Structure 1
Amino acid sequence: MRVHHLNCGTLRPFGGGLVDGRAGLLRKATMVCHCLLVETDDGLVLVDSGLGVDDVTNPDASLPRFFQRITQPVFEVGETAVRQVVRLGYRPEDVRHVVLTHLDLDHAGGLRDFPHAKVHVHAAEHRGAMARATAADRRRFRPAQWSHGPDWQTYETAGERWFGFEAVHELNGLAADILMVPLAGHTLGHTGVAVRTGPTWLLHCGDAYFFHGEPRSADDCPRGLRLFQRLVETDRAARLSNQDRLRTLVADHGDEVETISAHDPVELHRYQPQPTP
């Protein structure tokens, strides 16, 4: 399967190197919304959807002010998944499936742009997003982003084993080359999405980690980003345990599975084609 790596939302929070690890503190950092567009025999599959057209063209109606102040999004409609799908020569309706790591507003914003797609998500995540029982949930889960009434495909905790991870699911209507891998902690129903790319797998870890150094060392993460992860976590013990499991996966099976996170620009740059000098 061919995989396209898309940035579906640039974020420019304050903090410089405390957030992105580069030199300089008195500048805005750079973060991305790293999504995957997968060409399959069952049509196009979008893994996470970033910010959508409505989010960037009318942000005050869709994105809470606290999110705008903290993350400083770049409201560029050309970065939305649907516009990039069209630039690649496809139609929006060619995206038949959207697989979400979780339903945070910077991951589910593009759902409205693909109203005919099946939307795959962990059942615990779906329940939490629909209930919005806490103030934190009401900030992170935005019903406007699924007001079109998606064809939800939800998955409970039972499943198979995959490289030491339990309760891994194949997805309804898709071949076994795309799997949902539970990675709870950031949210209660947070998952990774594994995509087979020839002899190896690519594991999109969503927000299970934020910085490219973390899969190899718990200490390799800028202080500001480490603090941010703690502030937005739902279950600290589960989040840290799953980060440890990801480090074990990379150490033991790094030649079989590559990991990426949703917001690290270094990882995105690694996979995107670079201009010829």
Structure 2
Amino acid sequence: MKIHHLNCGSVREIDPTYEGLPSTAAVNHCLLVETPRDGLVLVETGLGLDDVRRPADTLGAEWVEMAQPALIEDETALRQVERLGFAAADVRHILVTHLDVDHCGGLPDFPHAAVHVLEAELQAAVREAPSRRYRPAHWAHGPQWRTYESTGDDWFGFSSIRPVGLPEEFKLVPMGGHTAGHTGIAVHDGTRWLLHCGDAYYYHRELDADPEPHPLLDIVQTGSEVDHDERVNTQARLRILARDHAAEVTLFSAHDPWEFGRLAS
């Protein structure tokens, strides 16, 4: 499989907490996976065309003020898929860590794709929308939902679920705390696992043995958690995974621009 790292929506500029890294815009880190038999698989969508064109309607004015998105059409997943020579219909599956606006805004751009998400997340989104977190415009087209419970087979000490219709190289890895049904998404590239941790953590130094949260990103992280203890426990388990299985698994979060720069290059 061929895996592309895509930034599908730059947001406000942030500074690193130590010297040697540039200040840069936070990202919405997505993966586009070319599979031999199952078409294109998109992991997260970032912001979509409607978000760029009508942000106050689809994203909400409060979120726009907080995140300060760049709103660049060429950064949408659809436009990046097209630049690679594909069409929207070639994206047959979308896996989302959760349904916050910046993670699923591009769903309407791929109306024919099956959308894989934890059942608890879909229920929370439908129940709570509209809110700063969940915007019904992102699923008003009636996605082909495929939902899952939060339990499954063991994967490096985490529960894991194989999404229906996809090969064993894809797994949903539930990681609670940020939202009601937050999950990581693991993809095997033929050599090692890539683990998209969504918003289970925000900044690469949170995985250090002596963790250091980012002062700005941590405001967002703590302000949006639904279960503090579960979120903290998830991060502790990710720290162990990063320490004990570094040769087998590469972890990254949704918004850390320095992780994205390293992996995209």
- Please state which band the TM-score falls in when normalised by the shorter chain: over 0.9
**1:58 aligned residue:** 54
Candidates 72, 78, 81, aligned match of 1:82: 78
- In the alignment, residue 157 of structure 2 is paired with which amino acid? G
**2:106 aligned residue:** 110
Per the TM alignment, residue 31 of structure 1 is displaced from its structure 2 partner at its CA by 0.3
Candidates 250, 254, 263, aligned match of 1:258: 250
Say whether residues 1:196 and 2:167 are aligned partners.
no
Per the TM alignment, residue 144 of structure 1 is displaced from its structure 2 partner at its CA by 0.4
- In the alignment, residue 206 of structure 2 is paired with which amino acid? E
**2:4 aligned residue:** 4
Offset from partner CA, 1:104-140 (integer Å, 9 cap, x none): 000000000000000000010011001117xxx7221
In structure 2, do the counterparts of structure 1 residues 218 and 62 end up closer, same or farther at CA, with 3 Å as the change threshold? Answer: farther
Answer with 259-268 or 225-234: which moved more. 225-234
**1:177 aligned residue:** 169
Offset from partner CA, 1:251-277 (integer Å, 9 cap, x none): 11010000010001111111223xxxx
TM-score, with length taken from structure 2: 0.95
Matches of 1:243 and 1:191, distance apart in 2: 13
**2:148 aligned residue:** 155
- In the alignment, residue 228 of structure 2 is paired with which amino acid? R
- In the alignment, residue 259 of structure 1 is paired with which amino acid? L
Matched ranges for 1:239-258 at <5 A: 239-258=231-250
CA RMSD of aligned residues (A): 1.5
Runs of 4+ displaced beyond 4 Å: none
SS in 2 for 1:139: coil
Instruction: Provide the identity percentage.
Output: 50
Say whether residues 1:269 and 2:265 are aligned partners.
no
Answer with 264-273 or 180-189: which moved more. 264-273
Q: Give the unaligned 5+ runs of structure 1.
A: none
**1:139 aligned residue:** 132
Matches of 2:211 and 2:164, distance apart in 1: 38
Offset from partner CA, 1:87-106 (integer Å, 9 cap, x none): 00111100000000000000
- In the alignment, residue 207 of structure 2 is paired with which amino acid? P
Q: How many residues were matched structurally? A: 261
Matches of 1:85 and 1:127, distance apart in 2: 29
Per the TM alignment, residue 234 of structure 1 is displaced from its structure 2 partner at its CA by 0.8
